[in-house]
Amino acid sequence: MNTEHALQLIASGRWSEARQVLHALLVDPALLQAEVDEMLPRCQALLMQRNHGLASALVALFRGVEPIDRLFEGVDARRAAELSAWHHARTGNQAAAAEAFLRAERWAHAALALQRAGEPARAHELWLRLLQRLPTQGNDGGQRAFAAPSGVIGVDNPVGHGAAGSYLMALLAFQLGRGPGKQPSAQESWLVSCQRHLEAAACAYGEAGESERAFDCYVVLSELGHVQNAFENLIEGFLGCARVVREDGLHLLALSFLQKAAHMADAKGEYHAAATIWDDAAKQAAATGLPYVRSLREAAGAAWLACARRYRQLQMPQSMVRHALLASAHAFVAADVPARAAEAVGDLAQIAKGAADPARYEQIVRRLLAASGTDQPAGVMPPETDTRFANVWEVDLLEWDLAGDPFSTAIALIGSAAVPIVVRRRALALALLLVDGHSAPNELAPEQQVQVARTIGELRVYDALAPLERLFLSNDAAVRRAVVQAIRGLPYKRSFGILRRALCDPANVVVQEATRVLARFQFAHALAPLAAIARGATTPEVRYAALEAIGRIQTPDAFDFVLRWCREDPSPPAISVLGTFRGSIVAQLAREAGQLGVPDVIRSALERII
């Protein structure tokens, strides 16, 4: 199979076979991009000759080399508009892109393009129309773009209900509130509405175990804080993000959010808040065995010192100043930097003049300075992990706008310059599967849906989840099974939504496939959802599949979970998972657990670890 073969098949009018060959070529990582680049112009011309206008236009969009409007003869008007829109968006012509998105009835895409094109008033109007046309409880509305469920809306949550509905309302209100409105009070009302819906959504998502969604809510909340210049929302957003990722075991990322929150608090003059955040960061680093405890304590000491000096400047009560100085000295001592502790105690001696016993503090300063020769080398701060996540307040609206349509999702990937070429090639392969006018998944034959699900799985990007969620609604068990297989390569928390539903599917084949996928899942940050599945499982197969996946996580937390499990249920599969843990920290924990007294069967597994 090679590129010439594919071209010959197109030239001889054997489109169906040609499409299969093109698909195989595009997803083949061994095929060099140079070969693809050489094949595609000829492919595009041949497709045009053979009246495959849409396929030809897709290739043109992928290549991004020419205006593609002339290729649309015979192509469905909405599809043509959508292709045209992405072409214009890619070439930077946002005004033309907006008009094309409007023709394609991709309203959120159109509104964002209008914003980028410098037409905020029209964008505002569009957001308003979108909000007004949202079907709410008892008011279905029946609008195509809003009726179809997608990942954002959630298959079990019609718009206007539950976490997904609240989240969507929040995103729309955010767009309405941040744009330039005629009445500031109205803008403010939209932002207030956004905040209340975000709070509801974050809470509901958190309680449903969809932590990745709760995280998105906190990202938007911090952005809301930026727009309002409101410390309360900024800090709630940052600390919410830190809490969610910490609960997911992403301790370094959690520290990064705390660092960011502390810097932000400092910049806003909220010194007290900054100091407590550094304190928390140091405690978290200590609790998780991260090597940044000293540096974070030193940062806490410095923040308390800054806080105390600020309080003095503001002539706040002496007890508050003294207190901040004591906290500073304590943090510096704990960080093994007595010289800096002496600085804080020196300030204490100053404020004690004429009141308490300055001599006592001066004595402590002398002792600290005497010990300062033994200062340890400076500690290392945690690495600055990038905490700038995609603009979820836009990305999630765009995803909702596409309503889980695989063809539109593919076009969006092909048309985006920011997407890696490997993904764009796979997206082109997916789009070519769907060029015959049946892009709505439920209009395809079940075997085609199975192939579409597999191809979507090959995309290996987050964007694949919404079309898969939609395909999972199929009545055909073979399609649902294919969806479950497809999520194997999509290690996102959101994948657990499909997995959880598949594990209680009425069709046995789907449950069995989900159990197989679960047992082979390799996802380092999925302890919480896996533990929930293990605890809630009604069959031993699912229970031990989840334990097996937890065994692959290999962190101290995962070890602790399995060890506790084995104490309750020392069955051979559980003990076997326990014995797979390795690593020095886990070995230390195993040693300590062994000393506390455990049944022999657990002891032998612990000995294997040690």
Partner 1 sequence: MAFDFDVPAAERALLTASCVVPRTTELEARAVGWWRSLNRLGVEMPLVIVHDVGRILATPLGSYSVVLDVAGLTPAMKREGDAYVSALGALAATPTTHRLASLRLRDAVVVGLLARLLGPLAIASRSRGGLPSTDDSPVTRFAPERAQRSWALIAAARERLVLAIELLDLDSVLALMTLGDDADELGSLLDIVTLLDSPDAQDAAAFSLELMASLSDSQQRNAVNMASAGGYSTLERRGSLESLLVSEFALDDELFLLRLRDNELLYWGRERDDERDEIVHWFVIDASASMRGARGVFARGVALSLGRVFVGKGHAVAVRFFDSRLHEPMRAGPRGLPVASVLAFRGENGRYLDRCAKQLLQEIVTRRASGQLVVHFITHGQAQVDKATMQQLAGRCRLQVIFVEAESRPEWSDVAAHVDMIAAEDVFKREQRLQRATRLVQKVKLA
* Sites of contact with partner 1 (CB under 8 A): 192, 195-196, 199-200, 202-203, 206, 214, 228, 230-233, 235-236, 239-240, 243, 265, 270-277, 279, 304, 311, 314-317, 319-320, 322-324, 326-327, 329-330, 333, 345, 357, 360, 364, 367-368, 371
Min dist. Cβ of residue 87 to partner 1 (A): 42
Instruction: Name the token pair of 329.
Output: 């000295």
Closest distance to partner 1 from the beta carbon of 364 (Å): 5
Place of tokens 């070529």: 25
Query: Per-residue DSSP letters for 384-431?
Result: --------HHHHHHHHHHHTT-HHHHHHHHHT-TTS-HHHHHHHHHHH
Min CB(593)–partner 1 separation in Å: 14
Nearer to partner 1 (CB atom), residue 58 or residue 293: 293
CB-wise, 364 or 419, nearer to partner 1? 364
Least distance in angstroms from the C-beta of 295 to partner 1? 18
The smaller minimum CB distance to partner 1, of residues 368 and 605, is found at 368
DSSP, residue by residue, 426-474: HHHHHHHHTTTS--SGGGS-HHHHHHHHHHHHHT-SGGGHHHHHHHTT-
Give the residue with the Cβ less far from partner 1, 87 or 246: 246
User: What's the distance, Cα to Cα, between the start and end of the chain in Å?
Assistant: 52
Nearer to partner 1, 304 or 559 (CB): 304
For residue 577, what are its two tokens? 């998972």
- Which residue stretches of 179-210 are H helix? 184-207
Closest to partner 1 by CB, 65 vs 359, is: 359
The minimum distance between CB 258 and partner 1, in angstroms, equals 11
CA angle 581, 573, 554 (to 5 degrees): 20
Question: Min. distance of Cβ 293 from partner 1 in angstroms?
Answer: 12
**Least distance to partner 1, CB of residue 300, Å:** 9
The smaller minimum CB distance to partner 1, of residues 209 and 467, is found at 209
- In terms of CB distance, is 329 or 412 closer to partner 1? 329
Among the listed residues 129, 220, 122, the one whose alpha carbon sits nearest the alpha carbon of residue 166? 220
CB of 367 to partner 1, least distance (A): 7
Q: What share of the chain is helix, strand, coil (3-state, %, to 5)?
A: 75, 0, 25
The dihedral sign for the CA sequence 439, 441, 445, 446: positive
CB 564 within 8 A of CB 596: no
